[in-house]
Amino acid sequence: MNFFENQDRARQNTQQLIGLFILSIVAIVAAIYIATLFFLRIAPRIWWHPQLFLSVTGVTTVAIALASFYKIACLRDGGSAIAQELGGRLLLSDIANPYEQQLLNIVEEMAIASGISVPFVYVLDSELSINAFAAGFTPNDAAIGVTRGCMEQLNRDELQGVIGHEFSHILNGDMRLNLRLVGLLHGILFLYLSGVFILRFRSSYRSENKGLWAFGLALMLVGGIGLFCGRLIKAAVSRQREFLADASAVQFTRNADGIAGALEKIERMGSGLNSPAAEAASHMFFGNALQLSFWENMLATHPPLSDRIRRIRGLNYKPSRTHIQTRSHSHESAMGFAGNSPSNTGAPVSAEKVVNQVGRVAPEHFTYAQKILADLPESLRLGLQKQQSAMAIVYSLALNHTNSQVRDRQLEWLREVQPAELVEETLLFGDEIALLDSGIRLPLVDLAIPALRQSSPEKCQQICKCVKGLIKVGGDLSLWEFVLQLVLWHRLEPCIHPESSAKAEQFDSIQEIWSDCILVLSALAKVGQSQPDAVTYAFRSGVFRLPKVGQQEQPEVPIACNFAGIKKSLDRLRLASPKLKLAIVDACAHTVMVDNQVTPQEAELMRAIVITLDCPMPPFLIPRKVSKQGKSSVEKK
């Protein structure tokens, strides 16, 4: 099952979740109606009162809906909102202790290896048990939280196994489903909490009103039904996903001992949380976050630890001889498409493999990620940890390093809008980045994102505008400059417009986005080919991979396109269903791979496309050699 199939399955689970939620509401309404009959002391033989039933149904449904909508609104910030509710503390690299720095390093390696932006990392300082979670609407706004016990009691391999498990939830589309589950179930839990509030109110004011006491107790009992239904729903949705995440973690790291060792330590030390918010988020965690006893087998959100350990031990992969050699040699084999360079002796990468690599992580990708972090100059490594220095690094990526006159104009403009200290940092970082392989540029953007997202929405928007200004001063827009703007805006969008991450898919038919697909494929064909016949052949190779192609209007040649049009089309394609995104990425891959050669420009544009579509792609797409500031045949507008 590939990334897109997992996304589609999560989408189907959401529909099932809504059905189960409706059944729970029906059960709650029936229970409240019966309780109301007894409360009003209506004769048992007259059990059917249509007006009363409609009133109970209306009031109960509205109360549940309002509570759910309120919770969903509170969660618009994505994973960070869940982490803060659980008492999480945002982990900052520049003040991290050794345990915390190790955790941050693992998360950074995992993010680079899987092709997503580095998530926020939170530590639950008051929780000494071993547990962790991932939360968010998309891979672009994910947050990872770990308990202090998880961070301090596990060795590096075990901690990497746990983080690999959580990254599987990020890549498999589980997070959006889990957040929706939190929002919907809050409406059911609201009745139980209301009953508790009424009883406490009566006790505090020493009220003798027995009717108020009976009503509060009835709400608690009915809310208990909702609590029971909610736990059943969470168990039904999350149990099988936990087995999949365990298997994916082993596949990512090729080390079953790591995650199995973490589970064995949980058997001895426990994974329960003390936070009152653990009930609502229990299905998100690595292990059972609730202390269950009698109902444990029925209501636990996770499979029994013994079953998970047994399955993981059965997946005890051993690194192959090839993988051992790969780790001991250069990271070159993990970079780019096979066939890009004569020095590459690997098998050619097919378009089908490009699609299958989305959402997949292999050990060689970790090798590459570790190599990137190890090869970064110390000044860059430290700069990525600080907000102002991270801004300077991003600005330096927009400088023209091949034309000193253009760069001088850019720096002169930057001095007019930014402090002198920031401009000097930009110049220093620019000199260092110019000496590095160009394949490091996009990973640098992703590594800078956590520090940049600590800024206000207005500041993040200002950063994007400043990059745009630097590029405008530089003259004609290059493909790299377009990619930089596109990726930077997409990565910072959850901070600038938090509601954008929660948008649901809007397009299920290829007809609705046909013109957008044609424009993007036209751009890829023009970027990768120079001869008119070759451009047309590449374009049509991609078009014929789209679904229902025979029912749509097919241009004979690629259409005229510009960077503004590409950006607009990608914004629409981002809202396509997982099945349509699969077709789009497949068509793009066939356009790129039509001649079994991938230019650096094709590689960069392809990565920008899949990033914008929220389709995480490992770094095998990173170009080996990129001509700096290279221009493309896509028109500027």
pLDDT, position 395: 96
Helix axes 441-452, 387-397, angle to 10 degrees: 150
Read off the tokens for 23: 């059944």
Say what the pTM is: 0.81
pLDDT > 70: percent of the chain = 84
Do 305 and 287 contact (CB within 8 A), yes or no?
Answer: yes
Mean pLDDT of 132-140: 89
**Are the C-beta atoms of 444 and 375 separated by less than 8 Å?**
no
Query: What DSSP character marks residue 144?
Result: E
Distance of alpha carbon 627 from alpha carbon 406, whole angstroms: 17
CA angle, 516 then 521 then 524, to 5°: 130
- pLDDT for 414: 94
Phi, psi of 614 (to 5 degrees): 60, 40
The pLDDT tens digits of the residues spanning 151-197 come to 999 999 999 999 999 998 888 778 887 887 888 778 877 777 777 77
Of 203-212, 394-403, 424-433, the least confident = 203-212
Question: Per-residue pLDDT for 303 more than 50?
Answer: yes
Instruction: Give the phi and the psi of residue 245 in degrees, each rounded to 5.
Output: -65, -35
Q: How far is CA 551 from the centre of its chain?
A: 34
Residue tagged 């940049």 (tokens): 452
CB-CB neighbours of 348 under 10 Å: 12
Give the DSSP H or E segment for 122: strand 120-124
Catalytic residues: 166
Helices 256-269 + 305-314 axis angle, to 10:
160
372 and 111 Cβ atoms separated by less than 8 Å: no
Tell me the one-letter amino acid at 486: L
Q: How far apart are CA 481 and CA 493, in angstroms?
A: 18
pLDDT of residue 511: 92
The string of pLDDT tens digits covering residues 466-500 is 999 999 998 888 999 999 999 999 999 988 887 77
User: Are 178 and 275 in contact, with CB atoms under 8 Å apart?
Assistant: no
- Rounded (5°) CA angle 483-485-490: 95
Determine phi and psi for 440, rounding to 5 degrees.
-80, -10
Phi, psi (rounded to 5 degrees) for 194:
-65, -40
Task: Report the b/e string of 410-436 with b at 16+ CB within 10 A.
Answer: bbebbeeebeeebbebbbbbbeebeee
Contact 467, 398 (CB under 8 A): yes
Model confidence band, residue 148 (pLDDT cutoffs 50, 70, 90): very high
Q: Which of 232-241, 356-365, 385-394 has the highest mean pLDDT?
A: 385-394
Residue keyed to tokens 């202090």: 148
- Per residue in 326-346, pLDDT (tens digit) is 333 333 333 333 333 333 334
Per residue in 592-622, pLDDT (tens digit) is 988 887 888 888 898 899 999 988 877 765 5
Three-state DSSP at 607 gives helix
* Average confidence (pLDDT) over 141-148: 93
Quick one: pLDDT at residue 175? 84
pLDDT at position 211 over 80: no
Q: Which DSSP category does 377 fall into?
A: -
Q: What is the mean pLDDT of residues 213-220?
A: 73
pLDDT recorded at residue 103: 95
Is residue 373's pLDDT more than 80? yes
Q: Taking the CA atoms of the chain, what radius of gyration do you get in angstroms?
A: 27
User: Are 509 and 532 a contacting pair, CB within 8 Å?
Assistant: no
pLDDT value at 371 more than 90 = no
